[in-house]
Structure 1
Amino acid sequence: MEIIDSFILGLIQGLTEFLPISSSGHLVLGKELLGGDFEKNITFEVVVHFGTLCSILLYYKKEIGAILLSIWELLKNPAELSERYEDDRNIKLSWFILISMIPAMIVGITMEDLIEETFLSPFPVSIMLLVTGAILFSTSFRKEYPNRLTKGSAFGIGLAQAFAILPGISRSGSTISLGLYLGIKREEVANFSFLMVIPVIGGAMLLKTIEMIEVGVPFETMWGLIVGFITSFISGYFALKYLIILLRHKGIHPFAWYCWAIGIIGLISFW
């Protein structure tokens, strides 16, 4: 893989992992446009996903540290589970994250290969980008409700995350959109959306890393991997920061126009 290709795909991964425009869909279209055989490059996929994972860990370092500290305190006194669940928001949040993982784990384990075989090509991805645009635009019609995150809403947002296994369906877009429709405040649902994906990305990376070890890492690809990691890490951090700021003031529906434009271009280009 050329250095410039690594830079472009790392940039695509970093920007689209958090912005509600589908990283998987953009990578499929980007690989097709670059004309390379990137589908088999498991190593590069692992590296750029690790870059975006690191950007989440950096951005939410205080929140993650507080959650881990609360879990550690609970492990030292497990008999206090009921009391801590009611009094410690970090314990409740960690429980919500575990609940949200269930749908994605089930779908990922049982349907990932089928979905990749069926949808991992430019034309269906372009259609799914149009669907993502419709999901995002629909949030402009939602009404404000003073609701908070619950076990039920956490599971529902987990279902939205599972739906986003389809390339072209934005994970952040679908989870945040559902949270908004449930009446959860913009920033709260956005923070939950990105915190809940940490174990999902981590688990997926573990499986891909095992594949990577089996395939091996050619030494001549190291510079490309380094460039891909740095690019996805930096661009991912600023994309995440920008999205949180935008959510506070505008919402996510403006991204609908971009998804529709890319989807239409994809349909025309790969018909």
Structure 2
Amino acid sequence: MELIDSFILGLIQGLTEFLPISSSGHLVLGEALLGDSLDKSITFEVVVHFGTLCSIVIYYRKKLADILTSLWQLVKSPSQAKEQYVNDDNVKLSAFILLSMIPAVIVGLTLKDQIENIFLNPVMVSFMLLLTGTILYITRFRMDFPNKIGYGNAIGIGLAQAFAILPGISRSGSTISLGLYLGVKREEVANFSFLMVIPVIAGAMLFEVKDMIELGIPFNDVLGLLVGFLAAFISGYFALKYLIIMLQNKGIHPFAWYCWAVGLIGLYYFW
């Protein structure tokens, strides 16, 4: 893979992993535009996903440290688990994250290959981007957000995350949008959406790492992989930071116009 291709695909991955515009959809369209001969290996996929994983871990480093500290206290004193659950919001959050992962794990282990075989083409991705735009736009009609994350909306947001296995459906867009529909506070649902994806990305990477180890890493590809990693890491960090700020001030419905535009252009170009 050429360095410019590595940079472009890493940049696309970083920007679209967290902005509600579908990273998988943009990668499909980006690869189609760059040409069918583009050699994007499983190793490159692992590296750019690791870049976005690092960006979210760095952004939430303080919150993650608090969660790990609370969980360590839980491990050290299991007899006080009930009391700690009642008094420690980090333990509750961990339980909600674990619950939200269940739908994505089930779908990922059973239907991922079948879904990608059906939907992994530019035309279908363009239709899914139009749907993502509609999902985002409807959030503008929700004006009050009185609720907090609980068991019910955690599993609902988890179902939205599983739905986003469809290329062109934004994971952050669908999970945040559902949280807003349910009346969860904007910042809280955004933070939950991004924290809950950490174990999902990490788990998906573990499956890919196995294939990567079997294939090996050619020495000539190291520089391209580094470029892809840095592009995904840096762009992902700032995309995440920008989205949190925008969500607090305006919401996420303005991204609907972008999704609609890209979806329509995709249909025109690839149909």
Which interval holds the TM-score relative to the shorter structure?
Answer: over 0.9
Q: Does the 8 Å contact 2:129/2:168 carry over to 1?
A: yes
Q: Distance between the aligned counterparts of 2:129 and 2:39, measured in 1?
A: 20
Residue number in structure 2 paired with 1:223: 223
Residue number in structure 2 paired with 1:170: 170
Which amino acid counterpart does residue 46 of structure 2 have in structure 1?
V
**Superposed displacement of residue 39, structure 1:** 6.9
Q: For residues 240-251 of structure 1, what are the structure 2 equivalents within 5 Å?
A: 240-251=240-251
Q: Distance between the aligned counterparts of 2:107 and 2:28, measured in 1?
A: 20
**Superposed displacement of residue 54, structure 1:** 0.2
Residue number in structure 2 paired with 1:150: 150
Q: Distance between the aligned counterparts of 2:183 and 2:72, measured in 1?
A: 32
Residue number in structure 1 paired with 2:235: 235
Which amino acid counterpart does residue 162 of structure 1 have in structure 2?
A
Q: Does the 8 Å contact 2:145/2:186 carry over to 1?
A: no
TM-aligned CA distance change 1:39 to 1:129, over 3 Å: farther
Which amino acid counterpart does residue 28 of structure 2 have in structure 1?
V
Counterpart secondary structure, 1:145: coil
**Superposed displacement of residue 11, structure 1:** 0.3
Q: Distance between the aligned counterparts of 1:217 and 1:168, measured in 2?
A: 29
Q: Does the 8 Å contact 2:11/2:231 carry over to 1?
A: yes
Q: For residues 34-73 of structure 1, what are the structure 2 equivalents within 5 Å?
A: 34-38=34-38, 41-73=41-73
Q: Distance between the aligned counterparts of 1:78 and 1:233, measured in 2?
A: 37
**Superposed displacement of residue 36, structure 1:** 4.3
Which amino acid counterpart does residue 14 of structure 2 have in structure 1?
G
TM-aligned CA distance change 1:110 to 1:40, over 3 Å: farther
**Superposed displacement of residue 216, structure 1:** 1.5
Residue number in structure 1 paired with 2:182: 182
RMSD: 0.9
TM-score (norm 1): 0.99
Unaligned runs of 5+ in 2: none
**Superposed displacement of residue 143, structure 1:** 3.4
Q: Does the 8 Å contact 1:31/1:37 carry over to 2?
A: no
Q: Does the 8 Å contact 1:137/1:256 carry over to 2?
A: yes
TM-aligned CA distance change 1:32 to 1:71, over 3 Å: same
Per-residue CA deviation, residues 181-210 of structure 1 (Å, 9 max, x unaligned), is 111110000000000000000000000000
Residue number in structure 2 paired with 1:101: 101
**Superposed displacement of residue 162, structure 1:** 0.1
Which amino acid counterpart does residue 267 of structure 1 have in structure 2?
L
Which amino acid counterpart does residue 70 of structure 2 have in structure 1?
S
Q: Distance between the aligned counterparts of 1:199 and 1:127, measured in 2?
A: 29
Residue number in structure 2 paired with 1:114: 114
- Structure 1, 211-220 or 18-27: larger mean CA deviation: 211-220
- Structure 1, 115-124 or 251-260: larger mean CA deviation: 115-124
Count of aligned positions? 271
Per-residue CA deviation, residues 7-32 of structure 1 (Å, 9 max, x unaligned), is 00000000000000000000000001
Q: Distance between the aligned counterparts of 1:93 and 1:85, measured in 2?
A: 10
Q: Does the 8 Å contact 1:125/1:167 carry over to 2?
A: yes
TM-score (norm 2): 0.99
TM-aligned CA distance change 1:35 to 1:176, over 3 Å: same
Q: For residues 248-267 of structure 1, what are the structure 2 equivalents within 5 Å?
A: 248-267=248-267
**Superposed displacement of residue 37, structure 1:** 4.0
Q: Structure 1 segments of 4 or more deviating over 6 A? A: none
Residue number in structure 1 paired with 2:208: 208
Per-residue CA deviation, residues 27-74 of structure 1 (Å, 9 max, x unaligned), is 000001011445761000000000000000000000000000000000
Identical aligned pairs, as a percentage?
70
Q: Does the 8 Å contact 2:132/2:170 carry over to 1?
A: yes
**Superposed displacement of residue 145, structure 1:** 3.4
Unaligned runs of 5+ in 1: none
Per-residue CA deviation, residues 142-196 of structure 1 (Å, 9 max, x unaligned), is 1313111101110000000000000000000000000001111100000000000
Q: Does the 8 Å contact 1:18/1:172 carry over to 2?
A: yes
**Superposed displacement of residue 217, structure 1:** 1.2
